[in-house]
């Protein structure tokens, strides 16, 4: 089964929010891209009801019929297996409870033949990006497991338990691929690493906090089916539903206007962390992107306009999540300084 869809999630110190988002992602993507799974498991049941999870999926799986619906060699596994239930536990547990769920310090995680490969890619201009696993392997393009989708999570040098949680989650989720940066290189570098290893026909990147529910994927996909090369989620166009504290809402609107006018970008909400690309378009743009930080979206859209790609801005639902890394008023001066540096770099590129 070809990889139809790649989801790239950059993560830095997201041990609290990433497991919750991945729980939502798996329920949605298994139901959409692995049709052999039974309907009861596609829809899922409350994560707190562990007994119900096990009973529903064990009774719901019709192994023979499901096996025939998938490609040869693909083994049907209930969506809510032990590690899947752990995703929900990690997402809602206290720090003390999390410590009990995780392996003891120094204890190697359990091996699993279907676990995701650990992947490392050098980022252009950086010598700090090294693999933490010397056995890391990147499958060649076109070589893919029997699956309809893949989830690529890029740990951008986290100093909390993000990688440990991800290791546990990946044990029985063969669609997960993990990339680890040895140091924190920035959101742009993390997204670039993930996109350049993606094998899907379409590639979406989404923030690890799940502020944009994964179901928005369907809206962006429709825009690509209608002819767009890039579909970017928007919180600022009619039809969007955005729940954000008013200071962040106002700051986002003002910065978007400044960035659009400063760089000549037509998209109203250029930094919304939910964008989908056709595979060839994604490879072309991200092989050229140089901005490693949080302004990489602006460079991607600037390049897309210069190279003539068709961009659709799609209204999405956005629910601001607590625990973000950006401190609004402290970031004002660094953000505008970075924006000025980006414009200078883009101007120099355009003049050559």
Q: Where do the domains of the chain lie?
A: 5-351
Phi, psi at 329, each rounded to 5°: -75, -30
DSSP state of 104: P
163, 180 contact by CB (below 8 A): yes
Q: Which residue has the tokens 């037509």?
A: 266
285, 277 contact by CB (below 8 A): yes
Distance of CA 198 to the CA centre of its chain: 11
Please report the pLDDT score of residue 326 as a whole number. Answer: 59
Partner residues linked to 39 by β-bridges: none
Q: Which CATH architecture has domain 5-351?
A: Alpha-Beta Complex (3.90)
pLDDT < 50 regions, the chain: 39-84, 88, 98-146
Q: Where are the alpha helices (DSSP H) in the chain?
A: 18-33, 39-43, 50-60, 63-69, 82-92, 95-101, 162-169, 187-197, 217-225, 246-263, 279-286, 296-306, 332-351
Please report the pLDDT score of residue 99 as a whole number. Answer: 47
117, 136 contact by CB (below 8 A): yes
DSSP state of 294: T
Please report the pLDDT score of residue 84 as a whole number. Answer: 46
Both tokens assigned to 248: 């962040």
Please report the pLDDT score of residue 230 as a whole number. Answer: 98
Partner residues linked to 204 by β-bridges: 7, 276
Please report the pLDDT score of residue 269 as a whole number. Answer: 96
Q: How far apart are CA 252 and CA 297, in angstroms?
A: 14
Q: What is the DSSP string of 267-291?
A: -SSTT-SEEEEEHHHHHHHHTT---
Please report the pLDDT score of residue 47 as a whole number. Answer: 39
What does R_g of the chain's alpha carbons equal in angstroms? Answer: 20
Interval 158-201: pLDDT, tens: 999 999 999 999 999 999 999 999 999 999 999 999 999 999 99
Task: Give this prediction's pTM.
Answer: 0.73
Dihedral over alpha carbons 251, 253, 258, 259 (to 10 degrees): 100
């Amino acid at each position: 089964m070809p990889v139809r869809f790649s989801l790239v999630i950059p993560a830095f110190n997201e041990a609290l929010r990433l497991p919750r988002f991945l729980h939502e992602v798996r329920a949605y993507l298994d139901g959409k891209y692995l049709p052999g799974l039974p309907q009861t498991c596609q829809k899922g049941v409350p994560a707190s009801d562990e007994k119900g999870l096990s009973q529903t999926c064990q009774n719901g799986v019709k192994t023979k019929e499901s096996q025939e619906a998938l490609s040869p060699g693909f083994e049907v596994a209930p969506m809510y297996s032990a590690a899947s239930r752990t995703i929900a536990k990690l997402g809602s547990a206290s720090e003390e409870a999390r410590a009990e769920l995780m392996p003891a310090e120094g204890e190697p995680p359990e091996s699993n033949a279907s676990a995701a490969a650990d992947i490392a890619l050098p980022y252009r201009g950086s010598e700090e990006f090294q693999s933490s696993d010397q056995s890391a392997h990147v499958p060649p393009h076109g070589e893919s497991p029997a699956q309809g989708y893949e989830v690529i999570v890029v740990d951008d040098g986290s100093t909390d338990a993000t990688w440990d949680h991800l290791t546990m989650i990946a044990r029985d989720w063969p669609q997960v691929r993990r990339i680890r940066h040895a140091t924190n290189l920035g959101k742009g570098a993390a997204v670039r690493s993930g996109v350049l290893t993606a094998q899907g026909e379409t590639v979406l990147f989404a923030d690890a906090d799940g502020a944009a529910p994964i179901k928005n994927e369907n809206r962006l996909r429709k825009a690509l089916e209608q002819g767009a090369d890039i579909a970017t989620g928007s919180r600022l166009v009619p039809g969007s539903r955005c729940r954000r504290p008013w200071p962040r809402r106002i700051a986002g609107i003002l910065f978007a206007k400044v960035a659009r006018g400063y760089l000549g970008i037509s998209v109203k909400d250029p930094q919304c962390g939910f964008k989908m690309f056709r595979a060839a378009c994604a490879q072309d743009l991200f092989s050229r992107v140089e901005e490693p930080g949080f302004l990489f979206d602006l460079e991607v859209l600037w390049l897309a306009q210069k190279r003539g790609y068709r961009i659709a801005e799609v209204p999405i639902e956005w629910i601001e999540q607590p625990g973000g890394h950006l401190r609004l008023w402290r970031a004002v001066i660094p953000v505008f300084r970075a924006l000025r540096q980006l414009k200078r770099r883009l101007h120099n590129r355009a003049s050559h």
